[in-house]
Structure 1
């Protein structure tokens, strides 16, 4: 028992990281590297590019180099989805070949996708070939089926029951996604929240935020696969 406890304590949670809309795995990794080494060294982060090249201008052009990707395509009103089922199959295939993964981290479109996956998995609709998602880290996230984003048919009931896995939610005071990120909290049983003063970005961590993140990591370390 003691050896098992020590093994879990030393295990790094393995996390699949899903980038934002019209960005890339490399860009998300660069953004996350703003976090202290004391945090990052406790996590095994794996970054994946979306399957589909960007169909339009990226908001990070001139800041980060292309290529840019999307996880799935939507119309401007977020009422119609293309390639959503293919996107999920692509992610599951990667998880099968490169896992097991303990949890997911997502930013913006990646966070919207990640937030819906545990409920869809619990229904037996997706990720049936991989272990249960144990936790989520959601940055500038939102709820599919909420006030702004409709839900594709596959995700129609993703939030029909409370999401019980531990979750960390990060969003900024001037983030256009802030109202949606706040609304998303109601779908989770015990969310932990990091507020920051900036906009739609991954922030550096001040002392208060760092303490919250450290507490969350301590919680998920107990869930990591030894």
Structure 2
């Protein structure tokens, strides 16, 4: 676990991708300019389970690699999902409070479902309400690619109201799933980029969108 920034900024818990790590996500997020990162208090957490197979970033980033939970080949059945949520909540209780989540890939899938699950009173009952989400290469439990774990069965039964920023890659394997996820959120803010399944660099237009979103959630965190 690594940490940066002042507690006066929105405190964001960052969830890495499948068979990635906190260190890898931190490295990738630092593609974004310091003028953005200095406005957020980013805390990076490793998933609770060591990688159970080959990582897609082997040869690019050094191990160890971690997973948040596991699923069967077509993601109709899950293992360790409830344990994963408990792990995250325990960390938030000990190291919070947190204002929101930033997630990439598997971390974004998980983060996207948390506000709805929290609103049902099923998870994160010991921590404050989630105020914001930044979802990079996200997808939806119960969507075209992923079945829903029982705990997340109704996570999107009502539109998710907390402010959300969605980063969608034109060449991302999850592009269509990321677009479909937008329908589950009230007034989602969207950045489109030309890269694939990665944290993109920010062009001038994307930078303006990110800065406006951060200003919005900064006001929420100080309210």
TM over 0.5: yes
Give the alignment's TM-score, normalised by structure 1. Answer: 0.95
- Count of matched residue positions in the alignment of Structure 1 and Structure 2: 217
Over aligned residues, Cα RMSD in angstroms? 1.0
Residue 143 (structure 2) aligns with:
146
Q: Is 1:178 matched up with 2:178? A: no
Cα distance in 1 for partners of 2:28, 2:137 equals 13
Are 1:117 and 2:114 matched, yes or no? Answer: yes
Report the counterpart of residue 20 of structure 1 in structure 2: 17
Q: Distance in 1 between matches of 2:125 and 2:13?
A: 16
1:195-219 Cα distance to aligned partner (Å, 9 max, x none) = 1100000000000100100110010
Once residues 87 and 225 of structure 1 are traced to their aligned partners in structure 2, the CA distance between those partners, rounded to angstroms, is: 29
Report the structure number with the largest CA radius of gyration: 1
Cα deviation, residue 147, structure 1: 1.1
1:1-226 correspondence runs (5 A): 11-225=8-222
User: Aligned partners of 2:41 and 2:174: how far apart in 1?
Assistant: 27
Give structure 1 regions of 4+ aligned residues with deviation exceeding 3 angstroms: none
Deviations 1:172-205, CA, capped at 9 Å, x for gaps: 1000100000000000001000111000000000
Q: Deviations over 1:57-115 (max 9, x none)?
A: 00000000000000001111111100000000000000000000000000000000000
Could you tell me which runs of 5 or more consecutive residues in structure 1 were left unpaired when the two chains were aligned.
1-9
Secondary structure in 1 matching 2:191: strand
- TM-score for both structures, normalised by structure 2: 0.96
Aligned residue number for residue 3 of structure 1: none
Counterpart secondary structure, 1:224: helix
> 1:102–1:225: 8 Å Cα contact kept in structure 2?
no
SS in 2 for 1:175: coil
Listed one character per residue, the Cα deviations across residues 26-64 of structure 1 (whole Å, up to 9, x for unaligned) are 000000001000000000000000000011000000000
Q: Work out which structure has the larger RCO, using CA pairs closer than 8 Å and 6 or more positions apart in sequence.
A: 1
Q: CA deviation at 1:11?
A: 3.0
Unaligned runs of 5+ in 2: 1-6
Output the CA distance in 1 between the equivalents of 2:27 and 2:98: 21
**SS where residue 222 of structure 1 aligns?**
helix
How many angstroms does 1:224 deviate by?
A: 1.2
